[in-house]
Structure 1
Amino acid sequence: MSTATHRPHDAHPHRHGATCGHQSVEHGDHVDYVHDGHLHRAHDGHWDECEPTAHVRHPRHEHRHGDLCGHEAVPHGDHVDYLHDGHRHAAHGDHWDDH
């Protein structure tokens, strides 16, 4: 799994939760919320951007994600991640990255 740096999302008055209306994504030991193309996670009383710090290639990923693949699509910045086996996968060149 990729790691994330501590990047507080400043001026974020909205409180995410089960009824906030934003898509939630299980991500390792926490839950991310999709909000305005970003992924936010709770951290010590504030919200952080939950983004990978490095390029993490998902090895041996034969499955091709897309509209009909059956995996949940998560809008993420300028691309779409797909939830698969507890990971967020994003197309990158000729392979898939682990977000």
Structure 2
Amino acid sequence: MAVFAVTTATGRNWEPTRGIREQQGWDQHAKFADGLVDRGVIMFGGPIGSADDEEVALLAVESADEKELRSVFAEDPWVLNGVLRIKEVRPWTVWLDGR
């Protein structure tokens, strides 16, 4: 499996006046993300930047390839509803891992 650095960003339906946990469909998105953690897809991740930034989160993700990764994340309720989008996917060679 390869490791990728995935940056997510606000989608067309992101409500800028609401916090991340007040966005429409938060519970469904959180359940989806927790499932990816349980399956070992998401290694670690979380919000980055400030509330004014376009970027929402940075994730370390294990996947066979970028196509598979994008296919998995396409099922995220936030992605399906335009709240969130994948901004960037970059291959990542992890040299340091203290987990």
Instruction: Tell whether the structures are fold-level matches, with TM greater than 0.5.
Output: no
Name the structure, 1 or 2, with higher relative contact order (CA <8 Å, separation 6+).
2
Higher share of residues assigned helix = 2
Specify the TM-score bucket, using the shorter chain as the normaliser: under 0.3
Give the structure-2-normalised TM-score: 0.26
